[in-house]
Structure 1
Amino acid sequence: MQSINTQVTNTQEVVELTQRWVREVVVGLGLCPFAAKPFAENTIRYCVAPSAAPEDILHSIYSECVLLSSVSHEATETTLVITPNALSDFHDYNQFFNEVDLLLSRNDWEGVLQVASFHPQYQFAGTSVSDAENYTNRAPYPIFHLLREDRLEKAIEFYPDVDEIPERNIARMNALSQDEIHRLFYYLNKT
């Protein structure tokens, strides 16, 4: 597998590694209680945006937003826009989110779609780089997760104690041994 520091040209490898991360980390550790169903039903769309150019990444995100707005959730519940060749610096990735938010606003997708963030160097404000809780959002590549707000609200409606998910996830990550972290997040140590 390629690391995010080298040019990735094999989009199938990018998709496979991302699917493995969803299966083993997101669903496997139960970090997102709403991910298991779309993963099992194969309604997660994996869109690889191979370009490093910001305008190309925005175009990919725009195209996926259009798609999500035009197909049923049974066909595509959610989309992961994966940028293996861009935004490898977490600060740059966070800054780029302003452009993504503007894209949603300009196209009247606020309240319809929202974007969750995942990155190999993810770090929550007020944490140290090595804090285990950061692993809840560490993915093999920079990812923009496009979610349908109505579907998210429906899922939350039937999930007890949704406000406890972050604390539960922090506890789960802190309970992992170093061997488990290295096994699950092996892609973070590649050069």
Structure 2
Amino acid sequence: MSTPELLTREWVTQLVVGEGLCPFAHPVLQNLRIDVSDSSDAEQVTMEFMALLSEVAEADPAQIPTALFVIPNQFAHFDDYWNWSLICDNLLVQMGYEGLLQLATFHPHYLFEGEDEDDMSHFTNRSPYPMLHIIREADIEAALASVAQPEKIPERNRRHMRRLGKEGLLKKMPILAQSRLFQDDPNTQES
């Protein structure tokens, strides 16, 4: 059985970098920081997130260029996660990191508004566990300057995931079959 950190690292390596979903990820992969919160208490998880946010903001970018905050024991429901991610965005601003850092959101049951629930496009932001990606804005700006037509990346990724399909995804990463990515979404289960 893989730990949350190992499965997350494999997901980044095989899918995010390996499938080219993020053309900016490969250069920072070696120094990618992955912090896992073992807490099932939302307040504790938020405190741990704030500590990591401060650590990334104050660190030398060469030492911690980017970080993933993985939450395996909290926010199983996408709506709960989404509401919490909005709180984290507000905390980032309140802590004075706006313009320096930004957050990207990933969840096993991520849903883009306006897309069919079964559309593979959601897998561009689906991850084995709920997580937040802390990204340096300067790195994003530098990376965007080096990519032709960066505004086309999201649509290219959606098309790629649709071509790949669930079978192709599982062929590339069989371990995902046992992950939350392929378990029923708790939002759709009857109480």
TM-score (norm. length: structure 2): 0.89
Take 1:107 and 1:54, find their aligned partners in 2: how far apart are those partners? 19
Q: Deviations over 1:84-113 (max 9, x none)?
A: 000010010011122102211211111111
How many angstroms apart in 1 are the aligned matches of 2:145 and 2:160? 23
Q: Deviations over 1:7-28 (max 9, x none)?
A: xxxxx71100000100111001
- CA distance in structure 2 between the aligned counterparts of 1:60 and 1:54, rounded to whole angstroms: 10
Taking the aligned partners of 1:60 and 1:178, their CA distance within structure 2 comes to: 33
Q: Residue 59 of structure 1 corresponds to which residue in structure 2?
A: 47
Among 113, 125, 134, which residue is 1:137 paired with?
Answer: 125
1:17 partner letter: L
Inter-partner Cα distance in structure 2 for 1:146 and 1:134? 20
Instruction: Verify: 1:189 aligned to 2:177, yes or no.
Output: no
The answer to whether the aligner puts 1:171 opposite 2:159 as a matched pair is: yes
- Of 62, 65, 75, the match for 1:87: 75
Name the CA distance, whole Å, in 2 between partners of 1:58 and 1:101: 11
Equivalents in 2 of 1:154, 1:182: separation in Å? 33
Cα RMSD between the aligned structures?
1.5
Residues 126-170 of structure 1 deviation map (CA, whole Å, 9 limit, x = unaligned): 112210100011100000100111111111111111001011101
- Residue 18 (str. 1) matches residue 8 (str. 2): yes
3-state SS in 2 of match to 1:69: helix
1:103 to 83, 91, 94: 91
Separation in 2, partners of 1:177, 1:123: 16
Instruction: Map 1:125-164; keep pairs closer than 5 Å.
Output: 125-164=113-152
| Deviation, structure 1 residue 74 | 1.0
Residue type at the aligned position of 2:15:
V
Cα distance, 1:189 vs structure 2: 2.7
Q: Residue 99 of structure 1 aligns to which amino acid in structure 2?
A: I
Structure 1: gaps of 5 or more residues? 2-11
Structure 1 residue 182 displacement after superposition: 2.9
Tell me how far apart the structure 2 counterparts of residues 116 and 177 of structure 1 sit (CA, whole Å): 23
Spell out the pairing of 1:28-67 with structure 2 (5 A cutoff): 28-39=18-29, 42-67=30-55
- For residues 47 and 75 of structure 1, the distance between their equivalents in structure 2, rounded to whole angstroms, comes to 15
Distance 1:66 1:84 in 2: 21
Contact 2:120 2:165 in 1 (8 A): no
The residue aligned with 2:189 is none
Structure 2 unaligned spans of 5+: 185-191
Aligned identity (percent) is: 33
SS at match of 2:3: helix
- The 3-state SS of whatever aligns with 2:35 is strand
CA drift at 1:190: 5.2
Partner of 1:6: none
Counterparts of 1:69 and 1:22, CA distance in 2: 22
Q: Please, which moves more after superposition, 102-111 or 181-190?
A: 181-190
